[in-house]
Amino acid sequence: VYGFGGVGKSFLVKEVAKIAKQQELFDRVAIAHVSKTPDIKTIQVVIAEMLGLTFPEESTNGRAIRLRKRIEEEKTVLVILDDIWQPLELEKVGIPSNKEHIGCKLLMTSRTQDVLQKMAVQKDFTFRLELLSEVETWILFQSTAEDVVNDIRLNNLATKIAKQCKGLPLLIVTVASGLKSKDIPTWKDALSQLKSVGHVEMDVIVHSVLELNYNLLASDEIKALFLLSAVLGDSGSTE
C-alpha cells in the first residue's frame, strides 16, 4: 500500500491486522513500524514479541536466523511492515520470502510505489491509497467536530477549513478534533494558518497542521504529554 503521508495507510493496515486476528485468518499476525531511520534490531524485537519469541543472541544476524526459524514454524503468518521509506532487506530482519515459506504473507506500506517495487513487489500487487474527495472530507470533518459545525456562525468557516485539509484523513481528524471546543476567533486563525501553507509538499502540510493542533492544546501539561508521546513513538511506553 502506498500514498501520501497522512492519507491513512497505517490506520488501514492496523485494521487489517485486527480483522485478521479476530477472524483467525492467520495462525499469527505481527506488525512493526519501520520508520525513516529503521533499526533492524528494534523491528526484530517487535515482531518476535508478537510471536512469543525472545532473543538470547545480541547480533542482528543471529536474531534474523532465529526469527526466520520461528516464522517457519507457523503454517500461516501475516507480517506487516508499516512506513517503509527506503528498501528494507527482509533477509537481514529474518523474514522469509514467499518462496521460502509459502504461508508467510507480507503487507507493507510506503509513501512511494518505487520503494515497494525495489523490494521485489510486482506493480500489480501494489495499491495506491487516494486522498478523500471533498464530500468524503466534509463527512469525516463533520463527524469528528460533531454538532458544532451546524452552528450557523461556524458552518461556512468549517467547510472552508475542511477543504484546506487537502483530503488527508489525519489532518481532517486532527484539525476537527482540535477546533471543536474552540471559539470563533480560533477557527478563523486556523483557517488563516492553513491557507498560508498553500500548495506545497504534503509533508510540510502535515507538519503545519500538527503544529496548529499542538498550539490548540488546552494546557502546558497536555502539550508535554503530546511531546512525550512523539519522542516515545510506536515502541515507547508511558508506564
The predicted-structure confidence for 194-224, as pLDDT tens digits, reads as follows: 887 655 455 655 665 566 666 665 555 545 5
What phi-psi label fits residue 233: left (phi over 0), alpha (psi between -120 and 50 degrees) or beta? Answer: left
Task: Read off the pLDDT of residues 55-81 as tens digits, 9 standing for 90 and up.
Answer: 999 999 999 999 999 999 999 999 999
**Same domain membership, residue 228 and residue 147:** yes
DSSP-derived letter for residue 96 is P
Q: Which of 191, 171, 194 is nearest to 182 (CA)?
A: 191
Domain's final residue, options 125, 155, 187: 125
**Same domain membership, residue 114 and residue 15:** yes
Task: Read off the pLDDT of residues 18-54 as tens digits, 9 standing for 90 and up.
Answer: 999 999 999 999 999 999 999 999 999 999 999 999 9
Q: Where are the alpha helices (DSSP H) in the chain?
A: 9-22, 40-50, 60-73, 90-93, 113-118, 134-145, 155-164, 169-179, 184-197, 202-216, 220-232
Structurally, how many domains does the chain consist of? 2
φ, ψ for residue 31, nearest 5 deg: -135, 135
**Same domain membership, residue 116 and residue 13:** yes
Within 10 angstroms of residue 100's Cβ, the number of other Cβ atoms is 13
Grid coordinates standing for 75? Answer: 503454517
pTM here is 0.79
Q: How far is CA 86 from the centre of its chain?
A: 16
Contact by Cβ (8 Å): 43, 22: no
Residue 47 lies in a domain: yes
pLDDT value, residue 165: 87
pLDDT value, residue 213: 60
CATH number where 98 lies: 3.40.50.300
pLDDT value, residue 174: 85
Residue 146 lies in a domain: yes
Task: Read off the pLDDT of residues 129-170 as tens digits, 9 standing for 90 and up.
Answer: 999 999 999 999 999 999 899 889 999 999 999 998 889 898
**Same domain membership, residue 120 and residue 138:** no
Residue 160 lies in a domain: yes
pLDDT value, residue 193: 82
**Same domain membership, residue 192 and residue 91:** no
Residue 239 lies in a domain: no
Within 10 angstroms of residue 149's Cβ, the number of other Cβ atoms is 23
The parent domain of residue 58 ranges over: 9-125
Contact by Cβ (8 Å): 4, 130: no
**Same domain membership, residue 90 and residue 120:** yes
Residue 238 lies in a domain: no
Instruction: For residues 2-12, give the mean pLDDT.
Output: 92
pLDDT value, residue 227: 45
pLDDT value, residue 230: 47
Residue partners of 217: CB distance under 8 A and separation at least 6: 178, 223, 226
Residue 197 lies in a domain: yes
Strands 28-35 and 104-110: what pairing?
unpaired
Residue 2 lies in a domain: no
**Same domain membership, residue 157 and residue 69:** no
pLDDT value, residue 158: 95
**Same domain membership, residue 163 and residue 88:** no
Task: Read off the pLDDT of residues 88-110 as tens digits, 9 standing for 90 and up.
Answer: 999 999 999 888 999 999 999 99
Residue 86 lies in a domain: yes
**Same domain membership, residue 92 and residue 75:** yes
pLDDT value, residue 171: 85
How large is the angle between the packed helices 155-164 and 134-145, nearest 10 degrees? 120
Q: How far is CA 17 from the centre of its chain?
A: 13
φ, ψ for residue 104, nearest 5 deg: -95, 115
**Same domain membership, residue 25 and residue 90:** yes
- Report which of residues 5 and 23 the model is more confident about: 23
% residues pLDDT > 90 (the chain): 66
**Same domain membership, residue 77 and residue 170:** no
Domain's final residue, options 65, 98, 125: 125
**Same domain membership, residue 113 and residue 167:** no
Question: Residue 83 in 3-state DSSP?
Answer: strand
Q: Which of 75, 74, 51, 78 is nearest to 63 (CA)?
A: 51
pLDDT value, residue 209: 59
